[in-house]
Amino acid sequence: MSHLTASAMALLIALNVPSYSLGQTQASTPSARVVSPIELTVSGPKIIHRRDDVEFKAVLINHSTVPVLISPPERSHEPVFASWWDATDASGAMLDQELIGYCPVDGSDYSRKWRLTDSSIRLLKPGEWAEVPLTFRDPRALLKFRKKGTYQLTLHYFFNPPGREADTKDGKLVLTNYETSALSAANVKALREASGFSLVSEPFTIVLQ
């Protein structure tokens, strides 16, 4: 396991992000593909030349029966690694990953609570889909493709709900690091009850030429 993947997995464990917390997956049969409550799909070029400007896209699909908070509103104020790529070559060997340091600097004052509005909240309704941002849109920025050939790409994506803590009086979750006076009661409730998830896409075949 590479350093970057190990770091990402350690962060998942530290954040205690559940895999699927929105009910049960559909019953499977030998001929049917199991569909999770939230599905992650990937699209992009299948043939890539060395100097091509490449961008892959990721989409979340809500197969559950309830709305799902799919991304932190605005900024989460938490160091969350949102997505990363894995790949195997034609022999099935896992590719190494580049050691990349990532430290966002935006000049914001993180000592103050971030003010949320209803337009900040991203809820994915049952049956809806939405594109989600990728940390690296071109997997070549992260993976060490040393030669031409056929590869299998897999995208990992997870979401950790906005910071919350239990109220000392009634044990209910309350938001931290956010100023929520401008939010509707329904959106405050959605944020408090949001569940995290960890997803892995189906393998995606690419050919490097």
CA distance readout (Å), 128 to 23, 196, 197: 17, 18, 17
- The domain spans of the chain are 3-18+36-99+110-208
* pTM for the whole structure: 0.72
**How confident is the model at residue 103, as a pLDDT?**
57
| Residue 62 predicted with pLDDT over 90 | yes
pLDDT level of residue 189 (50, 70, 90 thresholds): confident
From residue 89, give the alpha-carbon distance in Å to each of 50, 55, 63, 111, 147: 17, 20, 32, 46, 10
pLDDT tens profile 123-136: 999 999 999 888 88
